[in-house]
Amino acid sequence: MAEKYSIKDGRIEAVMWIVCRDNKIAIEKRPPHPTKASVCIPAGHINLDVDKGKDYIEKAFLREAEEEFSEGRFKPTHWKYLKEIDFEETERDGSVTKLKLHYFLVTGWSGDVPKNTVERKGKHADLVWFDISRYKELPQSCDRQVVGELVKRLA
């Protein structure tokens, strides 16, 4: 059965989580793709079949972070909602997917940040620590914007 994605303002809602430690963030290094960024902040879709209630965005963030970082038995313990950004992503066929991204900052967790993310019970992307001072090198404008604002807050 297909997931029932949350759609708000004509955009598919997704959650993004910035795991921050010692002025570094965990980012995904995905295999090359013709239209999508290969370096990005970890993310997941909001699934209305499981993420229910008025706090569905936070539930989706916690579920997705634990699922995708499952190899480290990762569980966020301290987090903060940062912001919402509307973003458009070009697909392989040239179509555009409109997204509403909800960013969270994770500063505390139990378990470990794993070496890779998991998607459908298999390896999805490598996780590497990225110095936040290099945020302008992030390929997606939405990630650059949020991490840039985080850098200013931490200064």
Tens-of-pLDDT digits for all 155 residues of the chain?
567 899 999 999 999 999 999 999 999 998 777 666 688 999 999 999 999 999 999 999 999 999 999 998 999 999 999 999 999 988 878 899 999 999 999 999 999 999 999 987 778 899 999 999 999 999 999 999 999 999 998 87
- Structural domain boundaries of the chain? 7-154
Q: Is 13:45 a contact under the CB 8 Å cutoff? A: yes
Give the fold, CATH level 3, of 7-154: Nucleoside Triphosphate Pyrophosphohydrolase (3.90.79)
Q: Name the pTM for this structure.
A: 0.92
Task: Give the N- to C-terminal CA distance of the chain in Å, as an integer.
Answer: 46
